[in-house]
Amino acid sequence: MSPPNTPRLESRLPAVGTTIFTVMSALATQYQAVNLGQGFPDFACDPALVNEVTRAMQAGHNQYPPMPGVAALREAVAAKIEGLYGRSYRALDEITITAGATQAIFTAVMALVHPGDEVIVLEPCYDSYQPNIVLAGGVVVRVPLTPGGFRPDFAKIAAALGPKTRAIIINTPHNPSGTVWSEAEMLALQDLLAPTNVFVISDEVYEHMVFDGAQHQSVARFPGLAARALIVSSFGKTYHVTGWKVGFVAAPAALTTEFRKVHQFNVFTVNTPVQHALAAYMADAKPHTQLPAFYQRKRDLFRHGLAKTAFKLLPCQGTFFQCADISEVSDLNETEFCEWLTRKIGVAAIPMSALYADGFDQRVVRFCFAKEDATLHAALERLQSL
């Protein structure tokens, strides 16, 4: 008897391989490098938050929650958005709790994009956007952020808009560059989209990491954008619990209805005790209001150390990423440099080219400074030879 055959598979994502984050983390482990590659904290979250999860489990919150999320958490999110950005979203039909921002973005793309629709992404960008669009049968339209400055280029965005454009995905504060859109830039986008039927998916997972007294310009502040937008955020980034994978989407009721149609057959519901815990924890605003100062201090510590090397530092207005130009440090390309840095110097970073579909190389790498001070000092000590 012939052995059973696995049918030949035609990949839905033929161009996708193992992500650079997985590759670099594995290399970091192999060479015992300080891992400033992947974007997650190496410190513990607030024990009070963990206690809230225990309390919720012991109180019996262990079965399916309502499909859109635990009401108390949706109410806490709505209150926070209104307090910070002055826009009122109804917890009932305009806020949905998701399994992190990645699922929220995937679900938003599936809900909006029909086969053949064009979706604009601004490169470099978070690596899930483009495969999401492809899986929905959409066409990715890549528009570069300005070279070196990583600001939105409105002439290029305007040129990319057309009758087939269904949506644009924006991200501020921006991973990987650390730029934060200004009010003027948000207004420019609002004006540009006003005569169109284009939706906005606004990835705001770093909303609470904006430095030097600047304000996060949420889409929620701009009525013309908010009316056409699904705003995505993540508790993982804000509360140092990236492994919990809980986030939310805020959108006008008509958009939320379509979003929830996909959501209910995608994940249906999200971890119940964690939702109750987050709702209770959000009663205190300090964890998010103190976050800019917390990360700004780490940013300054890291920049101060890196300034003594031949790396050229790019501005970091927000997020927990610091980008650096390597052209005075090495002749290698970004990927080769990151591999060399991990193996020979013992520090892992991410090549920015990994966040461009065509691998555009501009001699810039990204370090994550969401790390214990001791971790940052250890990395800086190793980098001082450069």
The site for ligand PLP (CB under 6 A) is made up of 39, 100-102, 126, 171, 175, 203, 205, 234, 236, 242, 245, 247
Instruction: Give residue 247's identity as a one-letter amino acid code.
Output: G
Least distance CB 364 / ligand PLP (angstroms): 17
Least distance CB 234 / ligand PLP (angstroms): 3
CB 49 within 8 A of CB 360: no
- 345 or 350, CB closer to ligand PLP? 350
Closest CA to 355 of 130, 24, 102, 141: 130
Least distance CB 236 / ligand PLP (angstroms): 4
Least distance CB 39 / ligand PLP (angstroms): 5
- 101 or 157, CB closer to ligand PLP? 101
- 73 or 329, CB closer to ligand PLP? 73
- 202 or 329, CB closer to ligand PLP? 202
Eight-state DSSP code of residue 220: G
- 167 or 380, CB closer to ligand PLP? 167
Instruction: Give residue 122's identity as a one-letter amino acid code.
Output: L
Closest CA to 150 of 118, 113, 175: 175
Alpha-carbon torsion angle 36, 38, 40, 42, nearest 10: -40
Least distance CB 9 / ligand PLP (angstroms): 27
Determine the residue with CB nearest ligand PLP: 100
Give the C-alpha separation, 244 to 10, whole Å.
Answer: 33
Least distance CB 356 / ligand PLP (angstroms): 15
- 345 or 370, CB closer to ligand PLP? 370
Query: Counting beta carbons within 10 angstroms of the beta carbon of residue 293, is it exposed (0 to 12), middle (13 to 18) or buried (19 or more)?
Result: exposed
**Residue 266: helix, strand or coil by DSSP?**
helix
Give the C-alpha separation, 375 to 369, whole Å.
Answer: 9
